[in-house]
Chain A
Amino acid sequence: MSEIATKSELLLDTVKRRERDEKIIEVDEEKIKVVIFRAGSRCYAFYGRNIREILTPREIAWAPGLPDYLPGLINVRGDIESVIDLRAFLGEERADCAQCHIAIAVADDFISGILVDVVEDVVDIPASGIKPVIAGLPDAVRELVAGEFEHGGETVVLLDLAKLAAKVTVR
């Protein structure tokens, strides 16, 4: 019996090795949880680690002296939180507060509700799927962006909560 591998055996061995390597890559690739939501005409997302909960539409109490992007405050089981109308920064038409869900967003010592039209999905995506934004966004939105990725045939703009916090926090 010949000890020399045939061409087919060599090819098969190569194919199997490549398949094994691909599986290892799939297992090891970092996944990132994101919360995808709609605000106006586009889909956006925050990192899942930044979203503590999603509240159903509810009354937002008005307070005097606030800028347009702060419609007021809400009571979350006894804790009083501010609410941000994200659309003010996204170049989208202003939200109807009474219809919007509210995402409670946290990053370090920042916490606030953020108006979203509706939460579309909560998914784990491969880190490599997040690409830099190439074009098509106004400069004001780019300031808040961490990247973009494809989901369900649509481009989702991934927002960086820390950048939003820096923009809205008055020292």
Chain B
Amino acid sequence: MNLDLLLFSFNNAWFGIDIEQLAAITPYRDDEDDDLVSLERIFGGQPRSYREPRVISVKGDGAGKMPPYRLLIEAPEDIRNVDWRDVRPLPSLLEPFIRRLGVWGVLPLDERLILLLDCHRIDHRLRRKE
């Protein structure tokens, strides 16, 4: 089984999202409304500026537990088709900390480590605006 991954960077780290979870990728506009979530809100840290901001529209999970929402990211670098057998589990020491952020695995790719992000497993409390 293969995965089509949307690859983008955040804080000098690389992330990959299964494009099956995505409905659209659009340029960011200043008049974006309240359902827009930034990665720094999920991952923590100071608000940051984006060179080429893009908005990805995440589909609902189909089970009603996770409604659709929109995520602000840096412009994706690529979409890559990868073999799922190349995916590695998270080291057990790290898993309790980053699993709730939606990171479910690691993919070694071109000398980089891609953190695989499941948009449907991001703790919904982290997506809410304070």
Using a CB–CB distance below 8 Å, which chain A residues touch chain B?
Answer: 61-67, 70, 73, 75, 78-82, 84, 109-112, 168-170
Contact = CB atoms under 8 A, between A and B. Distances in A.
B108 interface: yes
B96 interface: yes
Contacts of B98: 63-66
Contact of B93 (A65, A70, A78, A79): A70
Q: Per DSSP, are chain B's interface residues mostly helix, strand or loop, or mixed?
A: mixed
A59 to B, nearest CB: 9
A169 B44 CA distance: 22
Interface stretch (B22-30, B54-62, B99-107): B99-107
A62 B108 CA distance: 14
B2 interface: no
A61 B94 contact: no
A89 to B, nearest CB: 14
Contacts of A64: 10-11, 13, 42-44, 98, 101, 103, 115
B113 interface: yes
Given A62-B11, A73-B91, A80 B108 contact: yes
Nearest to B13: A62
B12 A170 contact: no
B17 to A, nearest CB: 14
Contacts of B11: 62, 64
